[in-house]
């Protein structure tokens, strides 16, 4: 019996060549839905008061070089790329950290080439506040940050909370409230579908052969709803493995919320002095 006969018989029996479907949800936290409602109410309240609300996360790392990039694009001929994705052939590893302003529909992406650490995340947020945030929201003394539950801005990551206090809250006199999405629900973080998905669509099928080309694709990402994006390279060494002790955490002006304190907390400045606004 030939393979074509087997294929024909299988089709008659309802068999087809199929791919896996991601439809089975993981274990759900009992307070998952309540946390979503909590985030939604806080976000609406902050936006009504014109208090900045930003969604933050790290986009998928990209090898920079002549490598295959998922997706398709219109062209007369297929683009030839390397037949293997070896890290040694790359010009570097791009680590895009994004900040999405939910009310203004504006994105900012800072591309590093070292490691995705809490220090890198906070340096990116601080750069956004200096360059865009405080100009868009003059006089603002509070910021609401929406983040997922893993990576450099994870809810259980001591270095993340420590860096918030020392890099953002104290130097700028800002009161920062952070709300984390429950584990396994990061795709509902606004930055994922409002910014990162649009960037991936813009460079689909195009090899990211240089950091400048990658930045240009990010900067030229737009949508019909008015999304605009800035992008900057943020080189520097961000070493991993830096530990923050329990004693260090006691010095933070951190107050967990009554509801889901492991996911919701506010950090206040430890001095009333604000930094000078540099034009």
pLDDT digit of tens for each residue in the chain (279 aa)? 898 999 899 899 999 888 787 666 666 788 999 999 999 999 999 999 999 999 999 999 999 999 999 988 888 888 899 999 999 999 999 999 999 999 999 999 999 999 999 999 999 999 999 999 999 999 999 999 999 999 999 999 999 999 999 999 999 999 999 999 999 898 999 999 999 999 999 999 999 999 999 999 999 999 999 999 999 999 999 999 999 999 999 999 999 999 999 999 999 999 754 443 332
Asked if residue 252 belongs to a domain, the reply is yes
Q: Which domain holds residue 226?
A: 30-267
What gap in Å lies between CA 183 and CA 263, rounded to an integer? 10
Asked if residue 156 belongs to a domain, the reply is yes
User: How many domains does one find in the chain?
Assistant: 1
Asked if residue 55 belongs to a domain, the reply is yes
Residue 165 CB neighbour total at 10 angstroms: 22
**What CATH number is attached to the domain comprising 260?**
3.30.420.10
Asked if residue 70 belongs to a domain, the reply is yes
- The bridge status of strand 53-58 relative to strand 264-267 is unpaired
DSSP 88-107: GGSSEEEEEEEEEETTTTEE
Asked if residue 163 belongs to a domain, the reply is yes
Do the beta carbons of residue 230 and residue 104 sit within 8 Å?
no
Asked if residue 45 belongs to a domain, the reply is yes
Asked if residue 276 belongs to a domain, the reply is no
């Amino acid at each position: 019996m030939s393979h074509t006969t087997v294929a024909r018989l299988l089709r008659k029996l309802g068999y087809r060549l199929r791919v896996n479907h991601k439809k089975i949800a993981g274990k759900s936290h009992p307070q998952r839905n309540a946390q979503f409602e909590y985030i939604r109410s806080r976000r609406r309240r902050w936006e009504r008061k014109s208090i900045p609300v930003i969604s933050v996360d790290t986009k998928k790392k990209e090898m920079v070089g002549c490598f295959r990039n998922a997706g398709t694009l219109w062209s007369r001929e297929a683009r030839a790329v390397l037949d293997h994705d070896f890290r040694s052939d790359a010009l570097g590893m791009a680590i895009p950290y994004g900040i999405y302003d939910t009310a203004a529909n504006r994105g900012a992406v800072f591309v590093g080439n070292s490691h995705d650490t809490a220090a890198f995340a906070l340096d990116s947020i601080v750069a956004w506040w200096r360059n865009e945030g405080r100009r868009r929201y003059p006089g603002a003394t509070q910021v609401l940050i929406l983040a997922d539950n893993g990576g450099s801005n994870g809810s259980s990551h001591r270095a993340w909370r420590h860096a918030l206090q020392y890099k953002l809250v104290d130097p700028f006199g800002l009161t920062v409230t952070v709300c984390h999405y429950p584990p396994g629900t990061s795709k509902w973080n606004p930055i994922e579908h409002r910014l990162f998905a649009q960037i991936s669509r813009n460079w689909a099928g195009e090899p990211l052969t240089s950091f400048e080309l990658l930045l240009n694709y990010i900067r030229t990402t737009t949508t019909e709803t008015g999304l605009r994006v800035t992008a900057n390279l943020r080189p520097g060494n961000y070493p991993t493995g830096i530990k923050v002790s329990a004693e260090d955490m006691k010095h933070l002006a951190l107050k967990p919320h009554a509801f889901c304190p492991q996911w919701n907390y506010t950090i206040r400045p430890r001095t009333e002095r604000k930094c000078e606004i540099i034009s």
